[in-house]
Chains A and B, each alone.
Chain A
Amino acid sequence: MQSSLNKTFFYNAGDMVAFMARFFKELVRPPYEIREILYQCYLVGYKSTFLIGLTGFIMGVVLAIQTRPSMASFGAISLIPGMVSVSVIREIGPVVTAIICAGKIGSRMGAELGSMRVTEQIDAMEVSAINPYHYLVVTRTIATTLMVPLLAIYADIIALFGGYIAMNIHDKTSLQHFFVAAMQHLEFIDVFPAIVKTFFFGWVIGIIGCYKGYNARRGTESVGVAANSAVVASSLAVFIIDLIAAQITDLLS
Protein backbone atom coordinates (compact mmCIF):
# COMPACT_ATOMS: atom_id res chain seq x y z
CA MET A 1 0.00 0.00 0.00
CA GLN A 2 2.75 2.42 1.07
CA SER A 3 4.86 1.32 -1.89
CA SER A 4 1.96 1.95 -4.25
CA LEU A 5 1.43 5.44 -2.81
CA ASN A 6 5.12 6.24 -3.19
CA LYS A 7 5.02 5.01 -6.76
CA THR A 8 2.00 7.20 -7.54
CA PHE A 9 3.64 10.21 -5.88
CA PHE A 10 6.88 9.84 -7.83
CA TYR A 11 4.99 9.13 -11.04
CA ASN A 12 2.90 12.29 -10.62
CA ALA A 13 5.95 14.38 -9.66
CA GLY A 14 7.85 13.12 -12.69
CA ASP A 15 4.88 13.73 -14.93
CA MET A 16 4.58 17.31 -13.69
CA VAL A 17 8.29 17.99 -14.17
CA ALA A 18 8.11 16.60 -17.73
CA PHE A 19 5.06 18.80 -18.40
CA MET A 20 6.94 21.86 -17.10
CA ALA A 21 10.08 21.03 -19.09
CA ARG A 22 8.01 20.69 -22.25
CA PHE A 23 7.02 24.35 -21.88
CA PHE A 24 10.56 25.52 -22.72
CA LYS A 25 10.74 23.23 -25.72
CA GLU A 26 7.39 24.41 -27.08
CA LEU A 27 8.10 28.07 -26.23
CA VAL A 28 10.65 28.47 -29.02
CA ARG A 29 8.70 26.43 -31.52
CA PRO A 30 6.61 28.30 -34.11
CA PRO A 31 3.86 29.23 -34.70
CA TYR A 32 3.87 31.99 -32.09
CA GLU A 33 0.24 32.47 -31.10
CA ILE A 34 0.53 36.22 -30.53
CA ARG A 35 -3.22 36.82 -30.81
CA GLU A 36 -4.04 34.16 -28.23
CA ILE A 37 -1.25 35.36 -25.90
CA LEU A 38 -2.64 38.92 -26.03
CA TYR A 39 -6.16 37.64 -25.37
CA GLN A 40 -4.94 35.63 -22.38
CA CYS A 41 -3.01 38.68 -21.12
CA TYR A 42 -6.27 40.61 -21.31
CA LEU A 43 -8.08 37.89 -19.32
CA VAL A 44 -5.32 37.42 -16.76
CA GLY A 45 -4.24 41.05 -16.41
CA TYR A 46 -7.01 43.47 -17.22
CA LYS A 47 -9.80 41.28 -15.84
CA SER A 48 -7.99 41.01 -12.49
CA THR A 49 -7.27 44.70 -11.97
CA PHE A 50 -10.32 45.45 -9.83
CA LEU A 51 -9.77 42.52 -7.47
CA ILE A 52 -6.03 43.10 -7.16
CA GLY A 53 -6.51 46.85 -6.76
CA LEU A 54 -9.10 46.42 -4.01
CA THR A 55 -6.95 43.88 -2.20
CA GLY A 56 -3.89 46.12 -2.50
CA PHE A 57 -5.79 49.09 -1.14
CA ILE A 58 -7.05 47.08 1.85
CA MET A 59 -3.53 45.75 2.48
CA GLY A 60 -2.10 49.26 2.65
CA VAL A 61 -4.90 50.60 4.84
CA VAL A 62 -4.77 47.68 7.30
CA LEU A 63 -0.98 47.73 7.50
CA ALA A 64 -0.91 51.46 8.28
CA ILE A 65 -3.75 51.26 10.83
CA GLN A 66 -2.43 48.16 12.61
CA THR A 67 1.13 49.39 12.96
CA ARG A 68 0.29 52.93 14.03
CA PRO A 69 -0.20 52.20 17.80
CA SER A 70 3.17 50.43 18.05
CA MET A 71 4.94 53.13 16.05
CA ALA A 72 3.25 55.84 18.10
CA SER A 73 4.45 54.24 21.36
CA PHE A 74 8.04 54.62 20.09
CA GLY A 75 7.34 58.10 18.76
CA ALA A 76 8.07 56.87 15.26
CA ILE A 77 4.92 57.89 13.38
CA SER A 78 7.08 59.36 10.62
CA LEU A 79 8.43 55.89 9.89
CA ILE A 80 5.00 54.48 8.96
CA PRO A 81 5.33 55.31 5.22
CA GLY A 82 8.70 53.56 5.09
CA MET A 83 7.41 50.58 7.03
CA VAL A 84 4.39 50.24 4.71
CA SER A 85 6.50 50.58 1.56
CA VAL A 86 9.16 48.07 2.60
CA SER A 87 6.57 45.52 3.83
CA VAL A 88 4.34 45.85 0.80
CA ILE A 89 6.94 46.02 -1.93
CA ARG A 90 9.29 43.44 -0.50
CA GLU A 91 6.85 40.79 0.63
CA ILE A 92 3.14 41.38 1.08
CA GLY A 93 2.35 42.87 -2.34
CA PRO A 94 3.93 40.12 -4.48
CA VAL A 95 2.77 37.25 -2.28
CA VAL A 96 -0.82 38.41 -1.81
CA THR A 97 -1.10 39.22 -5.52
CA ALA A 98 0.23 35.77 -6.39
CA ILE A 99 -2.14 34.03 -3.97
CA ILE A 100 -5.12 35.91 -5.40
CA CYS A 101 -3.99 35.07 -8.92
CA ALA A 102 -3.57 31.42 -7.92
CA GLY A 103 -7.18 31.44 -6.74
CA LYS A 104 -8.65 33.42 -9.60
CA ILE A 105 -6.49 32.51 -12.59
CA GLY A 106 -5.17 29.09 -11.55
CA SER A 107 -8.65 27.78 -10.84
CA ARG A 108 -9.99 29.25 -14.08
CA MET A 109 -7.28 27.58 -16.11
CA GLY A 110 -7.70 24.28 -14.28
CA ALA A 111 -11.45 24.30 -14.84
CA GLU A 112 -11.27 25.56 -18.43
CA LEU A 113 -8.71 23.04 -19.62
CA GLY A 114 -10.29 20.29 -17.52
CA SER A 115 -13.62 20.98 -19.16
CA MET A 116 -11.96 20.97 -22.58
CA ARG A 117 -10.37 17.61 -21.77
CA VAL A 118 -13.66 16.09 -20.57
CA THR A 119 -15.60 17.31 -23.60
CA GLU A 120 -12.85 16.04 -25.95
CA GLN A 121 -12.01 19.54 -27.23
CA ILE A 122 -8.32 18.92 -26.54
CA ASP A 123 -8.54 15.61 -28.40
CA ALA A 124 -10.29 17.45 -31.24
CA MET A 125 -7.32 19.81 -31.50
CA GLU A 126 -4.93 16.88 -31.43
CA VAL A 127 -6.67 15.04 -34.28
CA SER A 128 -6.86 18.28 -36.28
CA ALA A 129 -3.04 18.30 -36.15
CA ILE A 130 -3.07 21.35 -33.87
CA ASN A 131 -0.64 21.05 -30.96
CA PRO A 132 -2.92 21.63 -27.94
CA TYR A 133 0.00 22.10 -25.55
CA HIS A 134 1.39 24.84 -27.73
CA TYR A 135 -1.93 26.56 -28.27
CA LEU A 136 -3.40 26.21 -24.78
CA VAL A 137 -0.59 25.79 -22.25
CA VAL A 138 2.21 27.93 -23.67
CA THR A 139 -0.03 30.92 -24.36
CA ARG A 140 -1.64 30.86 -20.91
CA THR A 141 1.63 30.39 -19.09
CA ILE A 142 3.30 33.25 -20.99
CA ALA A 143 0.32 35.44 -20.10
CA THR A 144 0.54 34.69 -16.36
CA THR A 145 4.34 35.07 -16.38
CA LEU A 146 4.02 38.55 -17.88
CA MET A 147 0.88 39.74 -16.11
CA VAL A 148 1.47 38.69 -12.48
CA PRO A 149 4.53 41.01 -12.12
CA LEU A 150 2.52 43.90 -13.57
CA LEU A 151 -0.36 43.14 -11.21
CA ALA A 152 2.05 42.97 -8.26
CA ILE A 153 3.52 46.40 -9.14
CA TYR A 154 -0.01 47.74 -9.54
CA ALA A 155 -0.98 46.26 -6.14
CA ASP A 156 2.10 47.85 -4.53
CA ILE A 157 1.17 51.31 -5.82
CA ILE A 158 -2.45 51.00 -4.71
CA ALA A 159 -1.33 49.66 -1.30
CA LEU A 160 0.90 52.68 -0.78
CA PHE A 161 -2.02 54.92 -1.68
CA GLY A 162 -4.15 52.97 0.84
CA GLY A 163 -1.46 53.51 3.47
CA TYR A 164 -1.53 57.24 2.74
CA ILE A 165 -5.34 57.35 3.19
CA ALA A 166 -5.11 55.36 6.48
CA MET A 167 -2.37 57.61 7.82
CA ASN A 168 -4.52 60.65 7.17
CA ILE A 169 -7.23 59.32 9.49
CA HIS A 170 -5.19 60.39 12.52
CA ASP A 171 -2.32 62.42 11.13
CA LYS A 172 -2.17 65.06 8.46
CA THR A 173 0.33 64.39 5.68
CA SER A 174 0.50 65.28 2.00
CA LEU A 175 0.57 62.63 -0.73
CA GLN A 176 3.92 63.94 -1.92
CA HIS A 177 5.42 63.83 1.57
CA PHE A 178 4.08 60.32 2.16
CA PHE A 179 5.54 58.96 -1.09
CA VAL A 180 8.90 60.69 -0.58
CA ALA A 181 9.11 59.20 2.93
CA ALA A 182 8.11 55.80 1.59
CA MET A 183 10.72 55.82 -1.19
CA GLN A 184 13.52 57.01 1.10
CA HIS A 185 13.43 53.68 2.93
CA LEU A 186 13.51 51.56 -0.22
CA GLU A 187 16.71 50.14 -1.60
CA PHE A 188 17.53 48.25 -4.75
CA ILE A 189 17.65 44.96 -2.81
CA ASP A 190 14.05 45.56 -1.67
CA VAL A 191 12.64 46.13 -5.13
CA PHE A 192 14.61 44.02 -7.62
CA PRO A 193 14.28 40.53 -6.01
CA ALA A 194 10.61 41.25 -5.28
CA ILE A 195 9.93 41.90 -8.95
CA VAL A 196 12.01 38.96 -10.14
CA LYS A 197 10.18 36.50 -7.92
CA THR A 198 6.81 37.61 -9.28
CA PHE A 199 7.84 36.28 -12.72
CA PHE A 200 8.36 32.88 -11.09
CA PHE A 201 5.04 33.20 -9.24
CA GLY A 202 3.30 33.91 -12.54
CA TRP A 203 4.98 31.02 -14.28
CA VAL A 204 4.08 28.43 -11.63
CA ILE A 205 0.50 29.67 -11.39
CA GLY A 206 0.07 29.29 -15.16
CA ILE A 207 1.88 26.02 -15.61
CA ILE A 208 0.29 24.28 -12.59
CA GLY A 209 -3.20 25.50 -13.50
CA CYS A 210 -2.71 24.21 -17.03
CA TYR A 211 -1.16 20.94 -15.86
CA LYS A 212 -4.09 20.14 -13.60
CA GLY A 213 -6.65 20.94 -16.29
CA TYR A 214 -4.76 19.37 -19.19
CA ASN A 215 -4.41 16.10 -17.30
CA ALA A 216 -7.94 15.97 -15.89
CA ARG A 217 -9.52 12.55 -16.06
CA ARG A 218 -12.77 11.85 -17.80
CA GLY A 219 -15.96 12.86 -16.01
CA THR A 220 -17.40 16.12 -14.81
CA GLU A 221 -16.16 15.60 -11.24
CA SER A 222 -12.58 15.84 -12.49
CA VAL A 223 -13.17 19.45 -13.61
CA GLY A 224 -13.85 20.47 -10.01
CA VAL A 225 -10.91 18.41 -8.80
CA ALA A 226 -8.64 20.03 -11.40
CA ALA A 227 -9.71 23.56 -10.41
CA ASN A 228 -9.36 22.83 -6.72
CA SER A 229 -5.99 21.12 -6.93
CA ALA A 230 -4.69 23.87 -9.23
CA VAL A 231 -5.37 26.45 -6.50
CA VAL A 232 -3.89 24.32 -3.72
CA ALA A 233 -0.76 23.30 -5.64
CA SER A 234 -0.02 26.73 -7.11
CA SER A 235 -0.55 28.49 -3.74
CA LEU A 236 1.86 26.05 -2.13
CA ALA A 237 4.35 26.57 -4.96
CA VAL A 238 4.13 30.35 -4.48
CA PHE A 239 5.07 30.00 -0.80
CA ILE A 240 7.94 27.63 -1.59
CA ILE A 241 9.32 30.04 -4.22
CA ASP A 242 8.93 32.89 -1.75
CA LEU A 243 10.93 30.95 0.82
CA ILE A 244 13.71 30.29 -1.67
CA ALA A 245 13.65 33.91 -2.84
CA ALA A 246 13.92 35.13 0.77
CA GLN A 247 16.97 32.93 1.34
CA ILE A 248 18.65 34.11 -1.86
CA THR A 249 17.89 37.77 -1.08
CA ASP A 250 19.28 37.31 2.41
CA LEU A 251 22.49 35.84 1.00
CA LEU A 252 22.83 38.69 -1.52
CA SER A 253 22.26 41.41 1.07
Chain B
Amino acid sequence: MKEETNDINPMKNDFPNEASLPAGETAPGGTAPVENPPPTTADPNLQPTEPEPERSGRGEPIIIIKGVCKSFKDHDVLRGVDMYVYKGENLVILGKSGSGKSVLIKCMVGLETPDSGTIELFGQDISRLSYDELNAMRVRVGFLFQNSALYDSMTVRENLAFPLRQHKKKMTREKVDTAIMQALEDVGLSDSIDQMPSRLSGGQSKRIGLARTLILRPQIMLYDEPTTGLDTGTAREISELICKMKDKYKISSIIITHDMLCAKATADRIVMLKDGAVYAEGSYEELERSDDEWIKTFFY
Protein backbone atom coordinates (compact mmCIF):
# COMPACT_ATOMS: atom_id res chain seq x y z
CA MET B 1 0.00 0.00 0.00
CA LYS B 2 1.35 3.39 -0.96
CA GLU B 3 2.03 5.72 1.95
CA GLU B 4 1.72 9.47 1.52
CA THR B 5 4.39 11.45 3.35
CA ASN B 6 5.29 15.07 3.78
CA ASP B 7 8.35 15.68 1.60
CA ILE B 8 9.06 19.25 2.60
CA ASN B 9 11.41 18.14 5.34
CA PRO B 10 14.91 18.22 3.80
CA MET B 11 16.32 15.92 6.47
CA LYS B 12 14.21 13.07 5.22
CA ASN B 13 15.49 12.81 1.65
CA ASP B 14 18.82 14.64 1.58
CA PHE B 15 20.56 12.88 4.43
CA PRO B 16 20.89 9.18 4.98
CA ASN B 17 19.32 7.94 8.20
CA GLU B 18 21.40 6.55 11.01
CA ALA B 19 20.71 2.94 10.12
CA SER B 20 22.18 3.35 6.63
CA LEU B 21 25.48 4.75 7.85
CA PRO B 22 28.55 2.67 8.66
CA ALA B 23 29.06 2.12 12.39
CA GLY B 24 30.49 5.12 14.19
CA GLU B 25 29.89 7.62 11.37
CA THR B 26 27.61 10.58 11.56
CA ALA B 27 25.54 12.17 8.83
CA PRO B 28 27.12 14.90 6.66
CA GLY B 29 26.83 18.39 8.07
CA GLY B 30 26.11 17.36 11.65
CA THR B 31 27.68 15.83 14.73
CA ALA B 32 24.57 14.16 16.08
CA PRO B 33 23.22 10.99 14.47
CA VAL B 34 20.40 11.72 12.04
CA GLU B 35 16.96 10.57 13.18
CA ASN B 36 14.48 9.21 10.70
CA PRO B 37 11.72 11.86 10.90
CA PRO B 38 8.18 10.54 11.36
CA PRO B 39 5.94 10.89 8.28
CA THR B 40 2.93 13.18 8.05
CA THR B 41 0.16 13.20 5.50
CA ALA B 42 0.61 15.14 2.26
CA ASP B 43 -2.99 16.38 2.48
CA PRO B 44 -2.68 20.12 3.23
CA ASN B 45 -6.08 20.21 4.97
CA LEU B 46 -5.06 17.59 7.49
CA GLN B 47 -1.72 18.93 8.68
CA PRO B 48 -1.21 18.93 12.46
CA THR B 49 -2.15 22.34 13.87
CA GLU B 50 -0.83 24.59 16.63
CA PRO B 51 -3.15 25.82 19.38
CA GLU B 52 -4.58 29.30 18.62
CA PRO B 53 -6.11 30.59 21.84
CA GLU B 54 -6.94 34.07 20.53
CA ARG B 55 -8.46 33.04 17.22
CA SER B 56 -10.39 30.13 18.65
CA GLY B 57 -11.75 32.21 21.54
CA ARG B 58 -11.51 29.17 23.82
CA GLY B 59 -8.61 30.34 25.95
CA GLU B 60 -5.43 28.36 26.54
CA PRO B 61 -5.62 24.61 25.92
CA ILE B 62 -6.10 22.54 29.07
CA ILE B 63 -3.70 19.86 27.77
CA ILE B 64 -0.55 20.70 25.81
CA ILE B 65 1.81 17.96 24.64
CA LYS B 66 5.08 19.03 23.02
CA GLY B 67 7.66 16.80 21.35
CA VAL B 68 7.00 13.75 23.52
CA CYS B 69 9.31 10.82 22.77
CA LYS B 70 9.28 7.45 24.46
CA SER B 71 11.15 4.28 23.64
CA PHE B 72 11.34 0.85 25.21
CA LYS B 73 14.83 -0.57 24.78
CA ASP B 74 15.49 -0.20 21.05
CA HIS B 75 11.88 0.35 20.05
CA ASP B 76 10.79 3.96 19.54
CA VAL B 77 7.12 4.08 20.50
CA LEU B 78 6.57 7.84 20.48
CA ARG B 79 8.66 10.06 18.21
CA GLY B 80 7.93 13.68 18.97
CA VAL B 81 4.18 13.88 19.53
CA ASP B 82 2.61 17.37 19.61
CA MET B 83 -1.00 17.76 20.62
CA TYR B 84 -3.40 20.01 22.51
CA VAL B 85 -6.92 19.83 23.90
CA TYR B 86 -9.21 22.74 24.80
CA LYS B 87 -11.56 22.84 27.77
CA GLY B 88 -14.73 20.92 27.05
CA GLU B 89 -13.33 19.36 23.87
CA ASN B 90 -13.38 15.68 22.92
CA LEU B 91 -10.17 14.74 21.13
CA VAL B 92 -10.06 11.29 19.57
CA ILE B 93 -6.66 9.72 18.93
CA LEU B 94 -6.87 7.20 16.12
CA GLY B 95 -4.14 4.81 15.20
CA LYS B 96 -3.40 1.20 14.52
CA SER B 97 -2.23 -1.21 17.21
CA GLY B 98 1.28 -0.41 18.37
CA SER B 99 1.18 3.20 17.23
CA GLY B 100 1.79 4.46 20.79
CA LYS B 101 -1.71 5.68 21.66
CA SER B 102 -1.97 4.00 25.05
CA VAL B 103 1.63 4.85 25.96
CA LEU B 104 0.86 8.50 25.26
CA ILE B 105 -2.06 8.72 27.68
CA LYS B 106 -0.14 6.71 30.27
CA CYS B 107 2.57 9.37 30.03
CA MET B 108 -0.11 11.97 30.73
CA VAL B 109 -0.93 10.50 34.16
CA GLY B 110 2.60 9.57 35.13
CA LEU B 111 2.27 5.81 34.60
CA GLU B 112 5.07 6.12 32.04
CA THR B 113 7.77 8.76 31.92
CA PRO B 114 8.57 10.34 28.55
CA ASP B 115 12.22 10.26 27.46
CA SER B 116 11.89 13.85 26.24
CA GLY B 117 9.24 16.47 25.58
CA THR B 118 6.74 18.08 27.92
CA ILE B 119 3.17 17.37 28.96
CA GLU B 120 1.26 20.24 30.49
CA LEU B 121 -2.06 19.70 32.24
CA PHE B 122 -3.86 22.79 33.57
CA GLY B 123 -0.74 24.80 32.69
CA GLN B 124 1.61 22.66 34.82
CA ASP B 125 4.41 20.52 33.40
CA ILE B 126 3.78 17.16 35.04
CA SER B 127 7.45 16.13 34.86
CA ARG B 128 8.28 18.95 37.29
CA LEU B 129 5.70 17.93 39.90
CA SER B 130 6.58 16.16 43.15
CA TYR B 131 4.79 12.89 43.94
CA ASP B 132 2.23 14.68 46.14
CA GLU B 133 1.67 17.40 43.54
CA LEU B 134 1.27 14.76 40.83
CA ASN B 135 -1.32 12.98 42.98
CA ALA B 136 -3.20 16.25 43.48
CA MET B 137 -3.21 16.58 39.69
CA ARG B 138 -4.36 12.98 39.23
CA VAL B 139 -7.50 13.64 41.25
CA ARG B 140 -8.50 16.11 38.51
CA VAL B 141 -7.81 13.59 35.73
CA GLY B 142 -9.92 10.47 35.22
CA PHE B 143 -8.63 7.40 33.42
CA LEU B 144 -10.85 4.64 32.06
CA PHE B 145 -8.77 1.52 31.39
CA GLN B 146 -9.33 -0.76 28.44
CA ASN B 147 -10.42 -3.64 30.70
CA SER B 148 -12.04 -1.27 33.26
CA ALA B 149 -9.59 -2.40 35.99
CA LEU B 150 -12.30 -2.75 38.65
CA TYR B 151 -11.00 -3.97 42.03
CA ASP B 152 -12.21 -7.54 41.85
CA SER B 153 -12.12 -8.15 45.61
CA MET B 154 -14.62 -5.32 46.17
CA THR B 155 -18.32 -4.94 45.31
CA VAL B 156 -19.45 -2.22 42.92
CA ARG B 157 -20.37 -0.05 45.92
CA GLU B 158 -16.93 -0.53 47.47
CA ASN B 159 -15.24 0.16 44.12
CA LEU B 160 -16.99 3.51 43.97
CA ALA B 161 -16.58 4.32 47.66
CA PHE B 162 -12.85 3.55 47.62
CA PRO B 163 -11.61 6.73 45.87
CA LEU B 164 -14.03 8.82 47.94
CA ARG B 165 -12.77 7.24 51.16
CA GLN B 166 -9.22 8.08 50.15
CA HIS B 167 -9.74 11.64 48.96
CA LYS B 168 -12.87 12.97 50.65
CA LYS B 169 -12.31 11.91 54.21
CA LYS B 170 -14.71 14.47 55.63
CA MET B 171 -17.65 13.16 53.61
CA THR B 172 -20.33 11.58 55.78
CA ARG B 173 -21.53 8.07 55.05
CA GLU B 174 -24.83 9.47 53.76
CA LYS B 175 -23.05 11.78 51.33
CA VAL B 176 -20.84 8.94 50.11
CA ASP B 177 -23.94 6.80 49.49
CA THR B 178 -25.61 9.68 47.65
CA ALA B 179 -22.53 10.23 45.47
CA ILE B 180 -22.38 6.50 44.67
CA MET B 181 -26.05 6.39 43.70
CA GLN B 182 -25.67 9.53 41.58
CA ALA B 183 -22.65 8.06 39.75
CA LEU B 184 -24.49 4.79 39.13
CA GLU B 185 -27.56 6.63 37.89
CA ASP B 186 -25.34 8.60 35.50
CA VAL B 187 -24.21 5.35 33.89
CA GLY B 188 -27.61 3.66 34.19
CA LEU B 189 -26.62 0.84 36.53
CA SER B 190 -28.22 1.67 39.88
CA ASP B 191 -29.34 -1.92 40.41
CA SER B 192 -25.80 -3.36 40.22
CA ILE B 193 -24.60 -1.71 43.41
CA ASP B 194 -24.00 -4.90 45.39
CA GLN B 195 -22.66 -7.03 42.52
CA MET B 196 -19.08 -8.30 42.38
CA PRO B 197 -17.15 -7.21 39.24
CA SER B 198 -16.84 -10.84 38.12
CA ARG B 199 -20.65 -10.93 37.70
CA LEU B 200 -20.73 -7.94 35.35
CA SER B 201 -20.70 -8.04 31.56
CA GLY B 202 -18.03 -6.19 29.55
CA GLY B 203 -20.31 -3.23 28.91
CA GLN B 204 -21.42 -3.07 32.55
CA SER B 205 -17.78 -3.18 33.71
CA LYS B 206 -16.97 -0.26 31.43
CA ARG B 207 -19.89 1.73 32.83
CA ILE B 208 -18.91 0.99 36.43
CA GLY B 209 -15.31 1.88 35.60
CA LEU B 210 -16.57 5.17 34.19
CA ALA B 211 -18.74 5.78 37.27
CA ARG B 212 -15.78 5.09 39.56
CA THR B 213 -13.67 7.58 37.63
CA LEU B 214 -16.36 10.25 37.45
CA ILE B 215 -17.20 10.09 41.15
CA LEU B 216 -14.22 12.36 41.88
CA ARG B 217 -15.55 14.88 39.30
CA PRO B 218 -12.43 15.04 37.08
CA GLN B 219 -11.95 17.91 34.65
CA ILE B 220 -10.10 15.74 32.14
CA MET B 221 -11.07 12.20 31.11
CA LEU B 222 -8.72 9.81 29.35
CA TYR B 223 -10.42 6.83 27.73
CA ASP B 224 -8.23 3.90 26.67
CA GLU B 225 -10.11 1.95 23.97
CA PRO B 226 -13.52 2.42 25.65
CA THR B 227 -15.44 0.28 23.15
CA THR B 228 -12.93 -2.49 22.43
CA GLY B 229 -14.38 -5.96 22.90
CA LEU B 230 -17.99 -4.77 23.05
CA ASP B 231 -20.82 -5.54 20.63
CA THR B 232 -21.97 -2.72 18.35
CA GLY B 233 -25.01 -1.81 20.44
CA THR B 234 -23.10 -1.66 23.72
CA ALA B 235 -20.26 0.23 22.05
CA ARG B 236 -22.77 2.81 20.84
CA GLU B 237 -24.18 3.14 24.37
CA ILE B 238 -20.69 3.73 25.77
CA SER B 239 -20.01 6.36 23.07
CA GLU B 240 -23.29 8.11 23.94
CA LEU B 241 -22.33 7.98 27.60
CA ILE B 242 -18.99 9.66 26.85
CA CYS B 243 -20.83 12.51 25.06
CA LYS B 244 -23.41 12.75 27.86
CA MET B 245 -20.70 13.05 30.52
CA LYS B 246 -18.92 15.70 28.48
CA ASP B 247 -22.10 17.77 28.19
CA LYS B 248 -23.17 17.25 31.80
CA TYR B 249 -19.86 17.88 33.57
CA LYS B 250 -18.03 19.97 30.87
CA ILE B 251 -15.17 17.49 30.83
CA SER B 252 -12.28 17.62 28.35
CA SER B 253 -11.59 14.16 27.01
CA ILE B 254 -8.99 12.24 25.09
CA ILE B 255 -10.41 9.06 23.61
CA ILE B 256 -8.00 6.44 22.33
CA THR B 257 -9.68 4.16 19.84
CA HIS B 258 -9.59 2.44 16.49
CA ASP B 259 -13.36 2.02 16.49
CA MET B 260 -14.60 4.44 13.81
CA LEU B 261 -18.18 4.43 15.09
CA CYS B 262 -16.95 5.54 18.49
CA ALA B 263 -14.71 8.15 16.86
CA LYS B 264 -17.59 9.49 14.78
CA ALA B 265 -19.94 9.66 17.76
CA THR B 266 -17.57 11.30 20.21
CA ALA B 267 -14.96 13.35 18.32
CA ASP B 268 -14.84 17.12 18.14
CA ARG B 269 -11.43 16.70 16.55
CA ILE B 270 -9.36 13.68 15.55
CA VAL B 271 -5.59 13.22 15.66
CA MET B 272 -4.18 10.24 13.80
CA LEU B 273 -1.00 8.63 15.10
CA LYS B 274 1.30 6.67 12.84
CA ASP B 275 4.67 5.23 13.84
CA GLY B 276 4.60 7.16 17.09
CA ALA B 277 3.93 10.61 15.65
CA VAL B 278 0.99 12.75 14.55
CA TYR B 279 0.22 11.87 10.94
CA ALA B 280 -2.94 13.88 10.35
CA GLU B 281 -5.46 16.03 12.18
CA GLY B 282 -8.98 17.15 11.40
CA SER B 283 -12.65 16.55 11.96
CA TYR B 284 -14.20 13.17 11.22
CA GLU B 285 -15.69 14.48 7.99
CA GLU B 286 -12.40 16.04 6.83
CA LEU B 287 -10.52 12.81 7.42
CA GLU B 288 -13.24 10.77 5.75
CA ARG B 289 -12.90 12.91 2.58
CA SER B 290 -9.11 12.54 2.47
CA ASP B 291 -7.40 10.86 -0.50
CA ASP B 292 -4.51 9.70 1.70
CA GLU B 293 -4.26 5.94 1.27
CA TRP B 294 -3.29 5.26 4.89
CA ILE B 295 -6.14 7.40 6.27
CA LYS B 296 -8.59 5.68 3.90
CA THR B 297 -7.83 2.30 5.51
CA PHE B 298 -9.66 3.48 8.65
CA PHE B 299 -12.83 4.42 6.80
CA TYR B 300 -13.28 1.51 4.40
Return A170 CB to nearest CB of chain B, in Å.
Answer: 50
Closest to A122 in B: B149
| Residue contact A119 to B149, C-beta cutoff 8 Å | yes
A129 interface residue (CB < 8 Å to B) = yes
A121 interface residue (CB < 8 Å to B) = yes
Residues of A within 8 A of B163 (CB): 128, 130
| Residue contact B147 to A127, C-beta cutoff 8 Å | no
Q: Which of A116, A123, A130 contacts B145 (CB 8 A)?
A: A123
| Residue contact A120 to B166, C-beta cutoff 8 Å | no
Query: Which residues of chain A (216-233) have a CB below 8 Å from chain B?
Result: none
Residues of A within 8 A of B166 (CB): 31, 128-130
| Residue contact B147 to A119, C-beta cutoff 8 Å | yes
Assembled-state Cα–Cα distance A200/B111 (Å): 33
Assembled-state Cα–Cα distance A131/B163 (Å): 11
Assembled-state Cα–Cα distance A31/B167 (Å): 11
Q: How many residues of B contact A (CB 8 A)?
A: 24
Query: Which residues of chain B (162-179) have a CB below 8 Å from chain A?
Result: 162-163, 166-167, 169
- Among B75-83, B131-139, B226-234, B251-259, the stretch in contact with A: B131-139
Residues of A within 8 A of B150 (CB): 121
Q: Which of B141, B149, B213, B216 contacts A120 (CB 8 A)?
A: B149
Assembled-state Cα–Cα distance A85/B168 (Å): 53
A171 interface residue (CB < 8 Å to B) = no
B143 interface residue (CB < 8 Å to A) = yes
Residues of A within 8 A of B162 (CB): 128, 130
Assembled-state Cα–Cα distance A126/B213 (Å): 12
Residues of A within 8 A of B139 (CB): 128-129
Known: A119-B147, A120-B147. A127 touches B152 (CB 8 A): no
| Residue contact A126 to B111, C-beta cutoff 8 Å | yes
Query: Which residues of chain B (210-255) have a CB below 8 Å from chain A?
Result: 213, 216
- B187-229 CB mask vs A (1 if < 8 Å, else 0) is 0000000000000000000000000010010000000000000
Return B112 CB to nearest CB of chain A, in Å.
Answer: 10
B151 interface residue (CB < 8 Å to A) = yes
| Residue contact B138 to A119, C-beta cutoff 8 Å | no
Residues of B within 8 A of A116 (CB): 151
A124 interface residue (CB < 8 Å to B) = yes
Q: Which of A31, A120, A128 contacts B138 (CB 8 A)?
A: A128
| Residue contact B135 to A119, C-beta cutoff 8 Å | no
Residues of B within 8 A of A123 (CB): 106, 111, 145, 149
Known: A127-B138, A129-B136. A120 touches B167 (CB 8 A): no
Assembled-state Cα–Cα distance A252/B167 (Å): 50
Assembled-state Cα–Cα distance A121/B136 (Å): 20
Residues of A within 8 A of B213 (CB): 128
Assembled-state Cα–Cα distance A129/B169 (Å): 14
Assembled-state Cα–Cα distance A123/B107 (Å): 12
Query: Which residues of chain A (108-149) have a CB below 8 Å from chain B?
Result: 116, 119-121, 123-124, 126-131
Residues of A within 8 A of B136 (CB): 129
Assembled-state Cα–Cα distance A5/B174 (Å): 56
Residues of B within 8 A of A124 (CB): 143, 145, 149, 151
B109 interface residue (CB < 8 Å to A) = yes
Closest to A126 in B: B111
Assembled-state Cα–Cα distance A127/B144 (Å): 10
Most interface-central of B136, B146, B149 (chain A CB within 10 A): B149
Residues of A within 8 A of B216 (CB): 128
Closest to B137 in A: A129
Closest to B213 in A: A128
Assembled-state Cα–Cα distance A126/B109 (Å): 9
Assembled-state Cα–Cα distance A146/B145 (Å): 36
Closest to A112 in B: B153
Most interface-central of A121, A128, A130 (chain B CB within 10 A): A128
Closest to B132 in A: A129
Assembled-state Cα–Cα distance A100/B172 (Å): 42
Assembled-state Cα–Cα distance A31/B135 (Å): 14
Assembled-state Cα–Cα distance A123/B209 (Å): 13
Residues of A within 8 A of B (CB): 31, 116, 119-121, 123-124, 126-131
23 inter-chain pairs at a CB distance below 8 angstroms, sorted by A residue, are: A31-B166, A120-B145, A120-B146, A120-B147, A120-B149, A121-B150, A121-B152, A123-B106, A123-B111, A124-B151, A126-B109, A126-B110, A126-B138, A127-B109, A127-B138, A127-B141, A128-B138, A128-B213, A129-B139, A129-B166, A129-B167, A130-B162, A131-B135
* Supplied contacts A121-B149, A128-B162, A131-B135, 16 more A-B pairs, CB within 8 Å: A119-B147, A120-B145, A120-B146, A121-B151, A121-B152, A123-B106, A123-B149, A126-B109, A127-B109, A127-B110, A127-B143, A128-B163, A128-B216, A129-B139, A129-B167, A130-B166
